[in-house]
Structure 1
Amino acid sequence: MAKQTHHPWLILAQLFVLITIAAAKVPAVIVFGDSSVDAGNNNQISTVLKSNFAPYGRDFYGGRATGRFSNGKIPPDFISEAFGLRPFVPAYLDPAYGISDFATGVCFASAGTGYDNATSDVLSVIPLWKEVEYYKDYQRKLRAHLGTKKANQILSQALYLLSMGTNDFLENYYTMPNRRSQYTVDQFQSFLIGVAGNLVKELYSLGARKISVGGLPPMGCLPLERTTNYMGGEGCVESYNVVAESFNGKLSGLVETLNKELPGIRVVLSNPYYILQQIVQKPSSYGFEVASVACCASGMFEMGYMCDRYNPFTCSDADKYVFWDAFHPTQKTNRIVSDYVVKHVLREFL
């Protein structure tokens, strides 16, 4: 049998067609959440929780510190690229972008926020309800820009990424006394699940049909938690990880319920817990050298203004580190986790 050859231009043409189809299936990526997905909205509000300065963004396009809490790209950027859209998702409040830019992707996320409104109060950031108000404003602008029919088509076919919850526990429940006096940790989880369910239902009522709900990472393995875990020999705080796993289990149940209750919706759980846990436990298997402390860190409280260009501990090669600062992964980790989520969860939308 003659050997079949594939001309390079033919392969490129086929790839172009595949990408076009993917883009048609998901014409936009729309993001709600916290610092894990904030593309720079916090730059425009009065809060101490910002990252629009060096060394943040040093590996992003042009070495720009955009307000992303990483040395480079964050998960929505990689996910947008995987769907054949632009290789980053701009922040809604960024004055450098307008509605024509937001037609293929927009981020409403705010670092430091959570499902609980009390969480956003801790560092004076954008509460979840306000993110939804911005989304409604975006809808109005999109319809004015593209016409109602085209805009509604984009809004119904778009992929909605929701990623929050870690701050509800680490900034709020375990740090501030109010919620602990009101709820056991199990009750607090159920309270947050109720908010998450209401969020999905509201987005559904506004036209959303493809929704990814993000699970919690192994939050006991964040460098901040490890460094302050003196009794545990600076290992992961397992009690926090147990809470994260439990919460993700409840989210899974919520996703199942929502898919049954809401006609025409498809909700999936994008759970980063196990892939991130594997990376932390066996960093060398993924090409990392350090998982216990962050690049911009001695491991303590380096985040935001405490991670700056004058920090003598900032590493020279972030690709060797799982974490960029005391709370957030490096661009390399974000890429690995995003690729995993796309291949194992979001692929049904491709």
Structure 2
Amino acid sequence: MMLSGMELAYMYSLLLFFVQILILVPSSRAKVPAIIVFGDSTVDTGNNNYIPTIAKGNFQPYGRDFPGGFPTGRFCNGRLPPDFLSEYVGLKPTVPAYLDPAYNISDFATGVCFASAATGYDNATADILQVIPLWKEVENFRDYKKRLSDYLGIEKANEILREAIYIVSIGTNDFIENYYPMQMRRSQFTVKEYQDFLIGIAENFFNQIYHLGARKISLTGLSPMGCLPSERTANFQDPFSCNEEYNNVALEFNRKMKNFVAKLNRELPGIRVVYSEIYDFILEIITKPSKFGKYWSYIQ
């Protein structure tokens, strides 16, 4: 089957993601006992199906390329990066959503997703569409740790949490759903101050999951969010072009996040955080599609 440009773009983005995260994977893949996921729609494997929100991916065409061809709550045509990573390290081909009643702790022992589409670092972002705030993702992780300890014993549970790979992908919604379209945060912060506010929340989040056992973590940076279809469509000053203001904010935030990751690696004993940079690669796909082959022209 011939792939569209957008599908090829997704595949190349996955490849980049894997190249950057492999530093966390030991030479023996079997040593990775679980994949544990926090974040937004980029990694939500279906949690929003089970909460009262309109931010759901439970209808077609979502899931058209998922095994069976049905929507799962993933905001994607098929599987998401955590699913592919789980399969790569020899675990299940999909990472189950923590709120999915079809799964129990025996399923979650090798991988679990706490992410919620449309959420952000900022609680106010989650409030907009009534999704799961980041602090609640941490509370669900805390509950998971207790259930895992009851199921496998404290020592084995702690080993799994220590050796698991954690994926964190979040932040775009804080700007495109909250800061820019809503008045509240813009009345409180300049955009640079808001970036620092979010990093303060991120620091608290990472400290919490660290003390709950997380050690090997991949943090994905922001993509060129001014080039998202919604932002290009709404760019009335330069129709269908990327919003350069938003892209510059993403670049600045990514720079600050890289410094933040370096700080975490210095200050938290035993932690290993890898910053996954996706901005430049995705921007090149969007702005120079022909460089990657004839099918890339579809993305414009």
The TM-score with structure 2 as length reference comes to 0.88
- Which of 63, 75, 78 aligns to 1:72? It is 78
Contact 1:38-1:111 within 8 A present in 2 as well:
yes
1:226-267, Cα deviation, whole Å (9 max, x unpaired): 112122131111111100010000000000011111111111
Amino acid at match of 1:224: S
Contact 1:41-1:91 within 8 A present in 2 as well:
yes
Confirm or deny that 1:175 pairs with 2:159.
Answer: no
Contact 1:49-1:112 within 8 A present in 2 as well:
yes
Q: Which residue in 1 is equivalent to 2:248? A: 242
The structural deviation recorded for 1:101 is 1.1
What is the distance in 2 between the residues matched to 1:181 and 1:230?
Answer: 24
Q: 1:88 to 1:19 in 2, by over 3 A?
A: farther
- Which of 5, 9, 29 aligns to 1:22? It is 29
1:72-105, Cα deviation, whole Å (9 max, x unpaired): 1111112222222222111000111111111111
Q: Which residue in 2 is equivalent to 1:212? A: 218
Matches within 5 A, 1:1-350: 21-24=28-31, 26-284=32-290, 285=292, 287-292=295-300
Q: CA RMSD in A?
A: 1.5
Question: Unaligned 5+ residue runs, structure 1?
Answer: 1-17, 293-350
The structural deviation recorded for 1:136 is 0.7
Local SS of the residue matching 1:288: helix
What is the distance in 2 between the residues matched to 1:247 and 1:85?
Answer: 33
Contact 1:31-1:108 within 8 A present in 2 as well:
yes
Greater Rg, structure 1 or structure 2? 1
Amino acid at match of 2:233: T
Contact 1:20-1:84 within 8 A present in 2 as well:
no
Amino acid at match of 2:105: I
Give the total of aligned pairs. 274
Q: 1:265 to 1:19 in 2, by over 3 A?
A: closer
1:127-157, Cα deviation, whole Å (9 max, x unpaired): 1111111101111111111111111100001
Question: Unaligned 5+ residue runs, structure 2?
Answer: 1-24
What is the distance in 2 between the residues matched to 1:215 and 1:227?
Answer: 23
What is the distance in 2 between the residues matched to 1:269 and 1:57?
Answer: 29
Contact 1:19-1:84 within 8 A present in 2 as well:
no
1:151-183, Cα deviation, whole Å (9 max, x unpaired): 110000111111110000000000110000000
Amino acid at match of 2:235: N
